Amino acid sequence: MGKNIGGGKKKKRGAKFSQEKGKREMVFKAEGQDYGLVEKMLGDMRCNVLCSNKTSIICHIRGRFKRRVWINHGDVVLFSLREFEDNKADIIYKYNLDEIAYLKSNGIFDSDQILENDTPKNFIFGQDDDDLDDENINLASL
């Protein structure tokens, strides 16, 4: 029996799904599509996305992205609105850092503008940051 020089199943699978480093062709929004910022992951391939008009919408991650493109909190995505459901959409593209910089520099999408007024207050153990003082924190109670 011959010696396994090339590797096993994982080497072959890695060659099949390898991601090329480099520039991709830019994808811009069309009619019925919009840019958004992933606000919260909900599970079952769904997430809350903040739209460019500062509204929140539930988006479904398409099956083509399943286990190939990982979408996390804070990612900029392109989503397509559903014709048959008003408050739901499908994520069709995830932008990388270079593409986000291009969108910001050309004024097409600015994530800072969306988060400007709607930043939620941070809650620590059920208390506001205003209620916590350095001298009043009791570490034994945490």
- Written as one string, the DSSP assignment of 39-89 is EEEEETTEEEEEETTS-EEEEEEPGGGTTTS---TT-EEEEEE-SS-SSEE
Report the C-alpha gap between 61 and 40 in whole angstroms: 13
Confidence of residue 142 (pLDDT cuts 50, 70, 90): very low
81: left (phi over 0), alpha (psi -120 to 50) or beta: beta
Average pLDDT, rounded, for the chain: 78
pLDDT reported for residue 20? 56
> In this structure, what token pair is assigned to residue 106?
């050309």
- Residue 49 clears pLDDT 90, i.e. is over it: yes
- Name the 3-class secondary structure at 138: coil
Residue ranges of domains in the chain: 29-107
pLDDT in tens, 10-34: 776 665 555 556 678 899 999 999 9
pTM of whole model > 0.85? no
Report the C-alpha gap between 113 and 138 in whole angstroms: 37
Task: Report domain 29-107's class.
Answer: mainly beta
pLDDT in tens, 92-105: 999 999 999 999 99
Range of lowest pLDDT (15-19, 112-116, 117-121, 122-126): 122-126
